[in-house]
Structure 1
């Protein structure tokens, strides 16, 4: 809503001298934008305006009686971004590409061929940078997929902004509202966001970064990791079991070879002994008592059973008995 400030001189003719600042006071401006201070002025009929000026209280004081001026119609050193519309009734001032150095109070002063007048108090200008604020449904903590989130383009000295344009990763988004709403945010919405006044990219704010955590991917990744680890363990276990079985088979084969070798070695000796015993029996069968000795030997042979597992033990015992017999014979001799 526009507010009109009427500045009147005291006295009978005060209504004939007037400066009206048709503008919000103070004026809040985004750095890089254009600011217009709308102004109207009035003076007694019959007089002519000879000089118009704008002054800033940053460099001037009181009623701008003395220089310096930010604008002076009789000066050739005026800033290109400051100008007066005309010298009759419109005293509006336009400041283009405004920045923080333009902050302060501004006053309009004019001089006629008969008198001079300054509009006091003046209009304050506040210059600030646009900022992006963020609000989300879950409050503190990280933002995850499915959350609702709002980005608001703000100016600290102004309650509401009109036309705003948004940028994502410095690319323009077709959106003109000061609030950028994500009702259900996704991982694709991650990025760097900034805003500016519409058609004034020079007012662009600093970027705010949004990183969206896709928690739905975590269980899937965890399942894959567990599956891979389990697969590795199972494969290793199968390989180990197969290797152990192969080793056991090799050992069993070696044991069988050893047993077969021992059995084949002992078998000829047994046959030879049986052959010698048979020849002995035939040679001595005519001797007295030979029949009884043969029967006794047959009984002894029939009672001896050689098992493969005990071949080594039997051989060892036989050697020990032979040694004992030799030792006994020597001692008796």
Structure 2
């Protein structure tokens, strides 16, 4: 008895029905991303419809809407052709486009349908600027070396980029910006983007270079302030010394007057020579008083009366 065994050759079938995707794609937000893709099918089939779907909004074999691309719907996405090139262009990609993408094609045969599974993963990130410097601790000062790198937070090397300083383009296309001996003039806000895609520009990264020596303007201001303080202090010191010098004679005069008025008048008069003579005369007169007999007192009284009348008459005749 003859037995016929039919062997299915997956390799042959796979060669006839296949979709080839690129490796995972790391994309910068705002850029244009092309998914390079090719597909094959048996020659007796004719392509009727091609589809691209995202696994964020679809599942399985891309049987359901919505589609990223539908050749019959003629949407905004661009599809190359319907023969073997299934590359897809996504313009101005953003984080919402991060997903797994699969390609599906339908032929004119009833069983001529195929979906490439698994698909290709796209990861969308913002560009960023990172810094590497020679000084590990503290601030960066003139003379230090500094390296700025334009990076994506996913695998993949950037080819050409555009650097900006304070929003103005810099003639530098390498992803790495190197300062061998940085100066204070290099301070500023740095950003980068993909070449010819300013929509991918990163957030600004501030570089501040501390000028240890200080700028001439700052030095002049400091010296001027110091001179002003010194002159002001000198003027105040001179005025204080002058006021103190003028105050000292006045205080001496006031002390002299106070000592003069504080001396008793009696003491002042008793120190005069005339006062001493008067005092001595009084003492002589008082010491010459004697008690006389009665007769002598009467004689003396008569004599005084005669003298008074003589004096009086003299005055009248005059």
- Please indicate, yes or no, whether the TM-score normalized by the shorter chain is above 0.5: yes
Counterparts of residues 1-333 of structure 1 (less than 5 Å): 10=10, 12-21=12-21, 23=22, 25-76=23-74, 78=75, 80=76, 82-114=77-109, 115-217=112-214, 220=219, 225-245=225-245, 319-322=269-272, 329=282, 332=286
- Tell me the TM-score normalized by structure 1: 0.69
- SS of 2:51's partner is strand
Q: How far apart are 1:12 and its partner, in Å?
A: 4.0
* 8 Å Cα contact 2:183-2:209 kept in structure 1: yes
CA contact (8 A) 2:78 2:88 kept: yes
Q: Structure 1 residue 75: deviation in Å?
A: 1.6
- In 1, Cα distance between the equivalents of 2:266 and 2:184? 83
Structure 2 residue runs of 5 or longer lacking an equivalent are 1-8, 288-318
Following superposition, the deviation at residue 96 of structure 1 comes to 0.5
In the TM superposition, what is the alpha-carbon distance from 1:159 to its structure 2 partner?
A: 4.3
Runs of 4+ in 1 over 6 A off after TM superposition: none
SS in 2 for 1:232: helix
- Separation in 2 of the partners of 1:111 and 1:225? 85
The aligned counterpart of 1:288 is none
Measure how far apart 1:158 and its partner are: 2.8
Conserved? CA contact 2:130–2:149, under 8 Å: yes
String of CA shifts for 1:295-315, please: whole Å, max 9, x gaps.
xxxxxxxxxxxxxxx9xx9x9
Deviations 1:90-138 (A, max 9, x none): 1000000000110010011101112011111110000011111112111
Write the distance in 1 (CA, Å) between the matches of 2:210 and 2:270. Answer: 85
Change (3 A) 1:74 1:319: same
Q: Aligned pair count? A: 266
Compute the displacement of 1:68 (Å): 2.3
CA separation in 2, counterparts of 1:197 and 1:316? 114
CA shift in 2, pair 1:324/1:143, >3 Å:
farther
What's the CA shift for 1:242?
4.6
Pairwise CA RMSD of aligned residues?
A: 3.5
Q: Note closer, same or farther for the CA distance 1:223–1:159 as it changes in structure 2 (3 Å cut).
A: farther
CA displacement at 1:223 relative to structure 2:
5.5
Cα offset for 1:46? 2.9
TM-score w.r.t. structure 2 length? 0.72
Given the superposition, is the C-alpha separation of residues 120 and 247 from structure 1 closer, same or farther in structure 2, using an over 3 Å criterion? same
SS of aligned partner of 2:39: strand
Does the residue aligned with 1:188 lie in a helix, a strand or coil? helix
